[in-house]
Amino acid sequence: MAAIKTERVKLANGKVYEIPVGADGFVPQAALLQRFNEVVEARGHVRNKAKDYDQEAAVVLPLQLTPREAAAWWDTPNRYDIQYIDAPGPVRQNLDYIKDPAVRKVHENLELICLPSEEREVRKLIDQAYSLAERQQLVKNGKVTVTVRPLADAAGNILGRRIELDRETGKNNSTVVHEGLHLLRKDDPGRKGVTKSAVGERKIASLDRLNLEESCTVAEQMARGEQPSSGYYHFVQVFDEQKKRWRYPTEKEALAMMKSDRLLFTNGQNKPLRGKAAVKAVEENWSHSHIARLKIKGAKKMAREEFSQTKLQELGKKKIFRRRSA
């Protein structure tokens, strides 16, 4: 393996750094990421990388930097930002390699904010996660922005039409499937019951509704994912026969329930479903799955109880017409 070349840079404060430099004269992106991840705050406190990303510095540097240009940030990354490393950058849409007109039209409505080396990888993950018809539905109601960034405690997140993927743990099929499903559940008019969004256009949803939404989304994630994994199984209630009460599962129990649901939602095949087949699997199996007992911290009811209550409320609103007797 070739030795990594560095350039020595001395700052005005007297500090000297050996900063990696590529053949093109610029600091490699991998070196910038490594530096961002390894720096700690004063007194040994671990830096909140997600907070750093969200709080844009007064000086935001471009991604392409010589060692001398990067030196001030290298010394104190919390005082400066670099586009795509610890601050957002311009939308990336390098689509020349996509030849299919229909596929390209979809990607023209997918705005990616990520490192140049990540763009094609993320677009491929999206293509693999959904059928073309589903991708078209995904962007039918407006552009979707996908940002690769550091997140505090999740592999992925969704805010409106903005999907966020954690750079270290979120660039995978399972996370992309899950976050995109939240949009499909809301925007696809063909969905109903448990396959339709439980929060809809609500600006503020109760924890019980959010709990139901995550439960149903995980169910479809289990049906669709290549190798799906979800931390939500740690909040699936199990009944303790000795203590006669519901409790949260052990690590072993959570893993066993996830594997069981994977088989349930793939018709016992453990192979990913797509499109209508995945939706049908959730419609038919969610009510007797483990994930239907999801109860995240703060929720008052299990997901299945919230769904039952919602259906009762909907029935109560419907007018029932009775035929008069002759």
Taking alpha carbons only, the member of 84, 9, 77, 88 closest to residue 37 is 77
Tokens representing 79 are 């005082």
pLDDT tens sequence for the chain (326 residues): 456 899 999 999 999 999 999 999 999 999 999 999 887 665 666 678 999 999 999 999 999 999 999 999 999 888 899 999 999 999 999 999 999 999 999 999 999 999 999 999 999 999 999 999 999 999 999 999 999 999 998 999 999 999 999 999 999 999 999 999 999 999 999 999 999 999 877 667 799 999 999 999 999 999 999 999 999 999 999 999 999 999 999 999 999 999 999 999 999 999 999 899 999 999 999 999 999 999 999 999 999 999 998 765 654 554 444 444 43
pTM, entire model: 0.89
* Number of CB atoms found within 10 A of residue 268's CB: 9
For residues 251 and 294, give the distance between their C-alpha atoms in angstroms, rounded to a whole number: 15
End-to-end Cα distance, the chain = 93
Distance from C-alpha of 59 to C-alpha of 61, rounded to nearest angstrom: 6
- SS3 of residue 189 by DSSP: coil
Token pair listed for 137: 């539905």
Could you tell me if residue 95 is left (phi over 0), alpha (psi between -120 and 50 degrees) or otherwise beta?
Answer: alpha
CA atoms of 104 and 136, how far apart (whole Å): 11
